[in-house]
A and B are shown apart, each in its own frame.
Chain A
Amino acid sequence: MKVLVPVKSVAQIDGEPLLDGAAEVSPDLLEWRLNEWDEFALEAALRLVEGDGGEVVVVTVGQEEAEEGLLACLAKGADRAVRIWDPALAGADPLAVAGLLARLATEEQPDLILGGVQSSDSGNAATAVALAGLLDLPRVAVVAGIELDGDQLTVERELDGGAIEVLRLRTPALLTVQTGINEPRYATLRAIKQAKAKPLATLGPAELGTDAAAALALAGSRTVALAMPERGEGATMIDGPPSAIAGRIAEIVTAEVGS
């Protein structure tokens, strides 16, 4: 049993971005961490393989900073990692990323692909299901429970309001994993050291039989500009020390709810 887990290092803005109509944030202002949803997808993959034997391969399309995230996955128990990159891919949209992942998946031939529902930075919730489309795999998005019996998957799909739909499908398949499905493990210090000895391959688009321009031609959209959001009317801000803030909140509560 081979499980492929596409992961993303997400960017957090640290500081005030100077935008001026730019379509990118200066890399100096970005901090990277592994996407929260992917932690749950990786844990689900590790548990399936621990039960049935096999291999967990993590893959990312990302710049050098993304290697830290891959190492964290290896430390938790992934067997191999692949990083796909070319500087021209900076800002690639979900469909372009899915195109590159599809090329790798075609080589790897996994039985199951487990992605996160979405990434916490852009929140597209699109890459993994786009990948399923390109590979023509059956898929379920927003999965809160997974059971595997042979090639038979029984999954819980999360609906609105806490409702659940139980579905059956056959592998090979792709699922997008929701937070809370499991409790992701922490890596031991020893495992963190040993992770550096595990295979971590770096591939360019050429090694996947394409080039950056062709990969980007699959993009579904182009970012023309970034801007600070219009905050609308926004909140009336309460200033002052905590006692003054609490005082004002108490007034509002008393007026609205009564006491």
Chain B
Amino acid sequence: MTARGVLVFGIVDDGQLRPATAELIGAGKALADDGAGPLTVALLGAVTDAHGEAVDRAGVEEILLVSSPEPSFEAHVAEAALAALIESRRPSVVLAGHTVDSLGFAPALAARAGLGFATDVSGIGWGEDGASARRGAYAERLTAELDFPGRETVLLLLREGAFEPATAAGSAPVSRLDLDLAGAARTELVERRTPPAGDVDITTADFLLSIGRGVEDEEQVAKLEEIAAKIGATLSVSRPLVDAGWVPSDRQVGQSGRTVAPKVYLALGISGAVQHLAGISAAKTIIAVNSDPDAPIFAAAHYGAVADLFEVATELQQQLG
């Protein structure tokens, strides 16, 4: 497999470079070290020299700043920019984040340009046959090893938090690259809204009792909230309970909810989907109670028990209440 290099594609949105870009660079450097070729970082958005400096890490050979005609992220502009970069540079591997932004353009580009492609990737490699990747399968019960036979360029969306960030400073040349992106946008931004503040702040709680779809019906939510109050915990939830309208969204933990950092996170009846786990990586001690011994949450928790959540919660009320 000829090694034509690794391209990290980072997005600057609202003036901000996503922090996980450092993980993309760390992963890209590992591929370059394994022989995939030189590592380039391209940033798209309202890019400034400061953004270029922020990605100047050891191992990066070149930094390209691409200005977007749009003030914030726009999926079709991102697709056009990455398509042009791939066409002119023909990298062997392109790395971007598995983020809601990428979900709007990366699959379209991969299908159109005939790229090798995988999303939510948690492990990567480079060998004689080119790139390989690891991701979950069957709701994370299994892992799948993937390869990309016959693909000149492979686009991989990397799971945030799964790769070591590059930290050492580098000394790569930074240049501006003009791409013709005028007219590429196909959506018009009306406004952005941040979520309204609720009446509880789960982000500052020391002890969260967090419940998931395992509670099964709405009446149980009130009971568990009562138990939480009695044992000195704040109630938080996984997304399905908010989707069902049982609990207000300010209680939701995860990627599209709040990021929490309690001393103890007690998860009852939560399976441990990646978007949920994204919100609890700063929790000091995670305890999971789940009736399914294979629930993925046990891989992320510090303590686990295979049990019925109601029985454990009732006992807990007696012992801590």
Contact = CB atoms under 8 A, between A and B. Distances in A.
B219 interface: no
A247 B315 CA distance: 8
Chain A, interface size: which category? 35 or more
A126 B116 CA distance: 13
Contact of A221 (B116, B239, B305): B116
Given A11-B138, A140-B75, A257 B111 contact: no
Contact of B284 (A141, A224, A256): A256
A168 B289 CA distance: 43
Contacts of B62: none
A203 interface: no
Contact of B111 (A133, A157, A221): A133
A259 B320 contact: yes
Interface string A137-175: 011111000000000001001111111111111000000
Interface string B186-197: 111111111100
B192 A25 contact: no
Which interface residue of B195, B249, B286, B319 has the most chain A CB atoms within 10 A? Answer: B319
Interface stretch (B46-54, B84-92, B166-174, B255-263): B255-263
B110 interface: yes
B259 to A, nearest CB: 7
A94 B298 CA distance: 29
Interface string B267-304: 00000001000000000111111000000101101111
B117 A180 contact: no
Contacts of B255: 160-161
A242 B138 CA distance: 29
Interface residues of B, number: 96
Interface stretch (A75-83, A104-112, A114-122): A114-122
B97 to A, nearest CB: 11
Contacts of A168: 187-188, 190
Contacts of A141: 75, 100, 103-104
A254 B316 CA distance: 12
B157 to A, nearest CB: 9
A133 B112 contact: yes
B119 interface: yes
Interface stretch (B4-12, B23-31, B36-44, B306-314): B306-314
A95 interface: yes
Interface string A164-204: 11111100000010011001000000000000000000000
B103 A176 contact: yes
B140 interface: yes
A101 B118 CA distance: 19
B187 A163 contact: no
B98 to A, nearest CB: 8
Nearest to B245: A183
B96 to A, nearest CB: 13
Contacts of A139: 75, 104, 108
A1 B12 CA distance: 37
Contacts of B287: 249, 252
B146 A224 contact: yes
Contacts of B284: 256
A166 B190 contact: yes
B109 interface: yes
Nearest to A134: B111
Nearest to B243: A180
A90 interface: no
B225 interface: no
A209 interface: no
B208 to A, nearest CB: 10
Contacts of B314: 242
B142 interface: yes
B146 A223 contact: yes
Nearest to B142: A226
Which interface residue of B76, B147, B256 has the most chain A CB atoms within 10 A? Answer: B256
Contact of A13 (B107, B138, B190): B138
A234 interface: yes
A163 B195 CA distance: 5
26 contacts: A99-B111, A123-B136, A124-B120, A133-B111, A141-B104, A142-B100, A157-B104, A165-B189, A167-B188, A167-B189, A167-B190, A168-B187, A176-B103, A179-B239, A220-B111, A220-B116, A227-B143, A228-B142, A230-B143, A235-B302, A237-B304, A239-B305, A246-B320, A252-B264, A257-B206, A257-B264
10 smallest A-B Cβ distances: which pairs?
A133-B108, A220-B117, A180-B243, A235-B304, A246-B315, A162-B195, A138-B186, A130-B111, A242-B311, A126-B107
Given A162-B195, A224-B132, A237-B304, 12 more contacts: A94-B107, A140-B104, A159-B100, A162-B257, A168-B190, A169-B186, A176-B103, A180-B239, A221-B118, A222-B148, A232-B299, A237-B305
